[in-house]
Amino acid sequence: MAKVDLHVHSKYSEHPSEWFLQRLGANESYTEPEFIYQKAKQRGMTLVTLTDHNRIDGALLLQEAHPQDVFLGVEATTYFPEDGCKIHLLVYGLTEGEFHEVQKFRPDIYDLRAYLQARNLAHSVAHATFSENNRLSLEKLEKLMLLFDTFEGINGARNRLNNTGWMDALKTLTPERLERLQAKHRLTPFSETPWIKNFTGGSDDHAGLFIGQTYTESEAETPADFLQSLKNKKTQACGRSNDFRAFAFTIYKIAYDFSQSQAKTPGASGWMNLLHSLVFDAKPLGIKNRLKLNSLKWQRPGNNIHLHFKELLESLQQFKDLKAEEKLPLVYDRLAGISDEFFSMLFKSFERDLKNGDLTQLVMNISASLPGFFLSLPFFSTLKHMHRDRELLNTLAAEYGTPRSRRTQKVLWFCDSVEEASKFPALLPPNERFGITEPSRLGFAVITDEAAAPELNCAQVLPLPGILTQPLSEVLTLKVPSLLKSLEKIEAFDPDVIYISSFGPVGWLGLLAARLMKVKAVGIYQQDLAKHFKATVADEGAAELADGFCRWFFGAMDEIRVPSRSYRDLLEARGYASEKLRYVPFGLDTQKYAPRQSRLPYLQKKYWPAAEGPKLLYVRQPGDAKAFAFLCSLIQRTLTSHPQIQLTVVGKK
């Protein structure tokens, strides 16, 4: 049995696609070919290849050093001539002369396909659903189905959504479907059985972290046997898909390798260099970094940011023998803690400085909290990168009837409390209850301890870790979730649509997640928030600021649901986009909650002994004492003229 990581990059891949590395001036990879060979062997690969972008320098060196178990490979960049849509094509087992021919033909994907067929060269289309230059479409994917028979089923740099979405679509192909595609696009299929597709796996590693963790298997012993099995469509894709955390660390690692490659790098002896050394270097710390690590013992306590950083460095030193990829969860958790401290400081400043009217201090504290934002920014970027093609994948799933298209959509609802979460399913009419019958398909994201998260009959609770709870008034409490730790949980839930009924930080998190993960954001406008804020905050300027933020917040939604037509008219008058407003009346399902006829005599006897007169039933969650007091005074006044009215209040004390 042969195992080969069919997609690996070395230092001969020079041009990064990530904007951060481009701005830095770094190469795409700094990994030595020999390191790749040794790491692949350590992880059980029987054969080895390199697939640098449009170069075979590293592969030639490796084949010369290990001729028995290395074959040449290249990742050729090719284009659809119609519009310049960029595609990456992995080619294997080619000679140096054939590589130069590939270079000549690769500007046109049709010419390149013809050359590969003529030379009978093994190949695989890399990460087909990833749009390299924002020109990929369903039409292009269908053309790829005709042009090629072998595709990368698991790419170790792409997430599970990309990998399984593409494989599932290809597995639905039939002879009849291929005939229709051939007539539609007027292209000749690659083989006589084009509906039978073959899959490969490769780590797409650029940083030396995940070599051999995604790979291809086949019944083969030698390079020649393996390449023949690839041509015969007899290989299997195996191993891991990626996530946004690991992708961010890949970029960090390349940036660190870049800094180490420079003769003089500003701040090379600083704390970040020490952190990178502990995470990525297998060699012992240098004397400067050892002194820095020891100096942590003499720092004065009290600075939580410093404390988190100290604990991170000490933990990495303690577990220095772990592999770099095994350290990543620890590093992410500690970085999340450091980021949380910066954001906690910012929100405390909002409450304190706005109350005191000290805008100068507020601006200074916003500036001081920026490191927390910049610490989180790479993870925002990689989460967005991982989900950038979601719309295309959804279109593909719908067109080809994959399992994803047949599943009930997953809804994640962001609200401020578990009590609030428990009432929402009942407060929507039947046709608005998402068609969800499984609790696993509906989740409520709320700040609560994981161990204390309650169970709901209709849904699950996604507990978000909180970093700050700050009362702002008698009825308004600021609850702030941990940003990075929450994003990790949200991505794992994998929602198809996000509902937001929280106007505070929990709601902001929901909107951020929707934008980064390319899912629909639906805002639930329950009350006149601008009017409510003016009633609770004495400062007119702060109230106007909140009103402006409210406009931006709901304006950023894909849809705004309002409980009454008057609210819809109010928001339209305030300039909200009318096409986003949707009137969805809140209320109970009267069929589901209608009292059983057999219980009416009991209710009549216990609660309404008087035979005549209107009977009022008031049911609500505990909370708004002012509203209840107003109801009582109203009933007292009404009883003077209508003494036959009977009021029953149902709820917790």
The model's pLDDT over 360-382, given as tens digits with 9 standing for 90+, comes to 666 666 666 666 677 788 899 99
Mean pLDDT is highest, among 224-228, 608-612, 618-622, for 224-228
pLDDT of the residue at 431? 45
Residue 537 in contact with residue 522, Cβ under 8 Å? no
Q: Which residues of 8-19 are buried (b: 16+ CB within 10 A; e: fewer)?
A: bbbbbbeebebe
Using CA atoms, how far residue 195 sits from 128, 136, 183, 265, in Å, is 17, 21, 15, 53
pLDDT of residue 539 exceeding 80: no
More confident residue, 335 or 144: 144
Please report the sign of the dihedral spanned by the C-alpha atoms of residue 141, residue 146, residue 147, residue 151: positive
Q: Which of 155-159, 351-355, 521-525, 582-586 has the lowest mean pLDDT?
A: 351-355
Residue 114: what residue type?
A
pLDDT of residue 21 exceeding 90: no
Alpha-carbon Rg for the chain, nearest whole angstrom, is: 30
Mean pLDDT is highest, among 24-28, 293-297, 622-626, for 24-28
More confident residue, 165 or 650: 165
Of the pLDDT bands very low, low, confident and very high (cuts 50, 70, 90), residue 356 is low
**Location of structure tokens 């209840």:** 628
pLDDT of residue 2 exceeding 90: yes
Burial of residue 646 (CB within 10 Å: 0-12, 13-18, 19+) is: middle
Q: Give which of 238, 513, 521 is closest to 386, Cα–Cα.
A: 513
Query: What are the start and end residues of each CATH 3.40.50.2000 domain in the chain?
Result: 408-583
CATH homologous superfamily of 408-583 equals Glycogen Phosphorylase B; (3.40.50.2000)
The model's pLDDT over 456-514, given as tens digits with 9 standing for 90+, comes to 666 788 999 998 887 766 656 778 899 999 999 999 999 999 999 988 899 999 999 99
For the chain, what percent of residues have pLDDT higher than 90? 48
pLDDT of the residue at 382? 93
The model's pLDDT over 60-87, given as tens digits with 9 standing for 90+, comes to 999 999 999 999 999 999 999 999 999 9
The model's pLDDT over 175-225, given as tens digits with 9 standing for 90+, comes to 999 999 999 999 999 999 999 999 999 999 999 999 999 999 999 999 999
Using CA atoms, how far residue 346 sits from 35, 77, 511, 529, in Å, is 44, 46, 19, 23
Alpha carbon distance, N-terminus to C-terminus of the chain: 69
pLDDT of the residue at 266? 46
To the question of domain 2-242 being in CATH 3.20.20.140, the answer is yes
The model's pLDDT over 500-513, given as tens digits with 9 standing for 90+, comes to 998 889 999 999 99
pLDDT of the residue at 79? 98
Of the pLDDT bands very low, low, confident and very high (cuts 50, 70, 90), residue 10 is very high
Residue 120 is encoded by which pair of tokens?
């009978």
pLDDT of residue 319 exceeding 90: no
pLDDT of the residue at 267? 43
Q: Which of 10-19, 291-300, 440-449, 635-644 has the lowest mean pLDDT?
A: 291-300
pLDDT of residue 6 exceeding 90: yes
Which string of DSSP letters, residue by residue, matches 459-514? Answer: -EEEEEPEEEEEE-SSS-EEEEE-HHHHHHHHHHH--SEEEE---SHHHHHHHHHH
Distance of CA 353 to the CA centre of its chain: 34
pLDDT of residue 521 exceeding 90: yes
0.85 surpassed by pTM: no
pLDDT of the residue at 270? 55
- Distance CA(219)–CA(2), nearest Å, equals 6
- Distance CA(227)–CA(233), nearest Å, equals 10
pLDDT, mean over the chain: 83
Query: What are the start and end residues of each CATH 3.20.20.140 domain in the chain?
Result: 2-242
For the chain, what percent of residues have pLDDT higher than 70? 76
